[in-house]
Chains A and B, each alone.
Chain A
């Protein structure tokens, strides 16, 4: 094992390299591009014994990833944001093929308006696709997550593709010290690829991905795939245990930070959860009984772990870095569905923050804690709230004024 200073993107590339992948169909998109550039460098130099091909779109990229996995090789690919959406048809399709491979998504908010900085609407759009989802909050977790993802995806109880998610900019371009396992150590955790009979060979012809007629077989295969996704909960725990034995780093399906004696919890995903973690420490210093839950696995959803960790708390504040337009925070809905009707279910609070990379300040976490405490006392949650300051609103008003002036000038010119 060697410590290196790596960006999140480089950590993802190292994950692919250590997983000894055979094939990388790729397509550039900000902020993911550094991953495929790094891998291209290694395949060119021979440091990676893999073949890489640049496709003309993410839709084609996921198609090629799926058919290559269906032919019997270990596949890695990566994208972001609009790319993930462009590939959406094929995400559902290749998951239905039960083609196991790993896709790193570097989260970036979705158009419109088009922007570059992160939130989780891109990856959550793939929530129901059949791809499993692992969400990372550090560069170390990205590298480790790729290795874990192959173990889970390729397990005979699962056989599904898996997304490893990291936040654009905040993680993709941030350098952190990362323990990089040796190839030998990685191999001890992740054995060479076994297609488990999924292949195309002249001597064993097969028709894959065929049509079905009617709801009977369709329901059967869809539900079977759902059950396979649920199996990934057990498989994750087993893989994480092996991982911890070999590398000494432990991962639960849910990161639970200072929750044991807590009355209040923050719930967040991804790298912004490290901000919540920092806020927990500061609040604890002030005597607040507060902790943090961070689901690493989002699909399958670690319902049992969340129920166990959150039941009996007085209030749970879910901070969603995403927005289901016309409904609200996606994680809030998911966590609420797990806790509803449970004995000792806490009061649930919903906050939307960090959209398009908008920062969340320590003061905002303190405010959320205060609102949660009040809600627990009242036994009633306030309406969902957007984290947004007066100063930000003033800034936008200023931009709107400028836009109006500019338009006015254009209209004057026309007259």
Chain B
């Protein structure tokens, strides 16, 4: 999309008032909530959010809800199937003229990485197979955050979680969910970060106009799970982009395009050392081998991009 085609030409074009209500049970500095605010302001209230078990399930607690549009909580594994039922029902009602077209809604899945990368991947995959017209938002805080940050399939290599407390942290690597989606020709897929709101807004704008399965994979810095001061959430998000750890990209018209390539990438250490989950890589002794491993992984990724 050329700058001329977006209504978000600069920061001043971003919505100034938030649609999502305040006073929810999310933690202070929640990166997931930051991202949800930014997305919801653009999608608007003619939406129904179909939620899977995770932190965000606690947004709507009887008798309160911060959503000015609609919401339904399903279960951990089957939010995309829930989206299917809502979408099909709305289409049926329109077809049979039992609902005014103006009453139609955009169907949006909202899940954490635990569901998106793991338990919900089967129902996600099937929703893509069926070409379901829905937007899938994954707020990725790289672990089972709601239960106290155990490692998930989204946890990065070396991160300490409450189930990877050893000296080398999580031995596995973060699963590439974006590529799983991209490999199956979705209508649209993008990574975003709340700390890059303009890039995010333009992507939501594109996702919103596409029809079919669409993914928004949002890095969601988590003060509690990652171990940093809540006031630093935006800074951590920016560092994830500047170090190249969280590439901002989109899959559109059959191609993956990077939307913000850091001109000179900061060393990954700048990102890692700010977070308690990586503290064991620096003290009591510096673990150069793991740090090098992580840096090499990031470098290899960008070599592939920059060719």
Contact flag A63-B60 (CB < 8 Å), given A70-B72, A201-B99, A210-B71? no
By the criterion CB–CB under 8 Å, are B74 and A59 in contact? no
Q: Does A66 contact B (CB under 8 A)?
A: yes
By the criterion CB–CB under 8 Å, are A63 and B92 in contact? no
Within 8 A of B (CB), among A43-85: 49-51, 53, 55-57, 59-61, 63-73
The smallest C-beta distance from A90 to any residue of chain B, in angstroms, reads 6
A267 to B96, CA, bound (A): 46
Contact flag A51-B91 (CB < 8 Å), given A210-B65, A211-B62? yes
- Which chain B residues border A57 with CB–CB below 8 Å? 122-123, 126
Indicate with 1 or 0, residue by residue over B72-106, a CB within 8 angstroms of chain A CB atoms: 11110110111111101111110110111011110
CB-nearest residue of chain A to B65: A207
- Which chain A residues border B89 with CB–CB below 8 Å? 22-23, 67-69, 71-73
Contact flag A66-B104 (CB < 8 Å), given A55-B126, A210-B60, A217-B62? no
Chain A, interface SS category: mixed
Indicate with 1 or 0, residue by residue over B30-62, a CB within 8 angstroms of chain A CB atoms: 000000000000000110101000000110111
By the criterion CB–CB under 8 Å, are A211 and B72 in contact? no
Q: Does A203 contact B (CB under 8 A)?
A: yes
Q: Does B29 contact A (CB under 8 A)?
A: no
A201 to B106, CA, bound (A): 10
- Which chain A residues border B105 with CB–CB below 8 Å? 200-202
By the criterion CB–CB under 8 Å, are A207 and B58 in contact? no
By the criterion CB–CB under 8 Å, are A205 and B67 in contact? yes
By the criterion CB–CB under 8 Å, are B84 and A73 in contact? no
A22 to B88, CA, bound (A): 10
- Which chain A residues border B91 with CB–CB below 8 Å? 51
By the criterion CB–CB under 8 Å, are A209 and B74 in contact? yes
- Which chain A residues border B123 with CB–CB below 8 Å? 56-57, 59-60, 63
By the criterion CB–CB under 8 Å, are B82 and A67 in contact? yes
By the criterion CB–CB under 8 Å, are A67 and B61 in contact? no
CB-nearest residue of chain A to B66: A207
Q: Does A213 contact B (CB under 8 A)?
A: yes
Within 8 A of B (CB), among A4-48: 22-23, 25
A50 to B93, CA, bound (A): 11
Q: Does B9 contact A (CB under 8 A)?
A: no
Within 8 A of A (CB), among B130-149: 130
A312 to B89, CA, bound (A): 52
Q: Does B231 contact A (CB under 8 A)?
A: no
Select which of B69, B72, B126 is within 8 A of A60 by beta carbon. B126
Q: Does B70 contact A (CB under 8 A)?
A: yes
A202 to B45, CA, bound (A): 8
A56 to B107, CA, bound (A): 19
A182 to B105, CA, bound (A): 36
- Which chain A residues border B83 with CB–CB below 8 Å? 67
Select which of B46, B62, B77, B85 is within 8 A of A71 by beta carbon. B85
By the criterion CB–CB under 8 Å, are A71 and B60 in contact? no
By the criterion CB–CB under 8 Å, are B61 and A23 in contact? no
Q: Does A93 contact B (CB under 8 A)?
A: yes
Q: Does B125 contact A (CB under 8 A)?
A: yes
A50 to B179, CA, bound (A): 35
Select which of A25, A208, A209, A211 is within 8 A of B85 by beta carbon. A25
By the criterion CB–CB under 8 Å, are B85 and A89 in contact? no
By the criterion CB–CB under 8 Å, are A67 and B104 in contact? no
By the criterion CB–CB under 8 Å, are A200 and B86 in contact? yes
A23 to B57, CA, bound (A): 27
Q: Does A325 contact B (CB under 8 A)?
A: no
Q: Does B174 contact A (CB under 8 A)?
A: no
- Which chain B residues border A64 with CB–CB below 8 Å? 81-82, 84-85, 88
Q: Does A410 contact B (CB under 8 A)?
A: no
Q: Does B68 contact A (CB under 8 A)?
A: yes
By the criterion CB–CB under 8 Å, are A53 and B88 in contact? yes
By the criterion CB–CB under 8 Å, are A210 and B45 in contact? no
CB-nearest residue of chain B to A201: B103
Q: Does A206 contact B (CB under 8 A)?
A: yes
A68 to B84, CA, bound (A): 8
A89 to B123, CA, bound (A): 15
By the criterion CB–CB under 8 Å, are B85 and A68 in contact? yes
- Which chain B residues border A51 with CB–CB below 8 Å? 88, 91-92, 95
The smallest C-beta distance from B45 to any residue of chain A, in angstroms, reads 6
By the criterion CB–CB under 8 Å, are B78 and A71 in contact? no
Q: Does A114 contact B (CB under 8 A)?
A: no
Q: Does A112 contact B (CB under 8 A)?
A: no
The smallest C-beta distance from A397 to any residue of chain B, in angstroms, reads 42
A71 to B91, CA, bound (A): 11
A57 to B69, CA, bound (A): 29
The smallest C-beta distance from B89 to any residue of chain A, in angstroms, reads 4
The smallest C-beta distance from A93 to any residue of chain B, in angstroms, reads 6
A181 to B102, CA, bound (A): 37
A23 to B87, CA, bound (A): 11
By the criterion CB–CB under 8 Å, are A208 and B81 in contact? no
Q: Does A212 contact B (CB under 8 A)?
A: yes
- Which chain B residues border A217 with CB–CB below 8 Å? 62
The smallest C-beta distance from B79 to any residue of chain A, in angstroms, reads 8
The smallest C-beta distance from A191 to any residue of chain B, in angstroms, reads 14
Contact flag A208-B122 (CB < 8 Å), given A23-B89, A64-B84, A68-B89? no
- Which chain A residues border B50 with CB–CB below 8 Å? 67
By the criterion CB–CB under 8 Å, are A56 and B125 in contact? yes
By the criterion CB–CB under 8 Å, are B92 and A205 in contact? no
Within 8 A of B (CB), among A63-122: 63-73, 89-90, 93, 97
- Which chain B residues border A22 with CB–CB below 8 Å? 89, 92, 96
- Which chain A residues border B130 with CB–CB below 8 Å? 53
Select which of B58, B75, B88 is within 8 A of A211 by beta carbon. B58
A210 to B60, CA, bound (A): 6
A51 to B48, CA, bound (A): 21
CB-nearest residue of chain A to B101: A202
CB-nearest residue of chain A to B69: A205
Within 8 A of A (CB), among B113-133: 122-123, 125-126, 129-130
Select which of B70, B78, B84, B104 is within 8 A of A207 by beta carbon. B70
A161 to B125, CA, bound (A): 28
8 A-B pairs besides A63-B82, A63-B85 with CB distance below 8 A are A59-B75, A60-B126, A67-B82, A93-B74, A202-B46, A203-B102, A211-B62, A212-B61
Q: 11 A-B pairs, CB-CB below 8 angstroms?
A: A56-B122, A59-B81, A67-B74, A67-B86, A71-B85, A71-B93, A89-B77, A90-B74, A202-B69, A203-B103, A206-B70
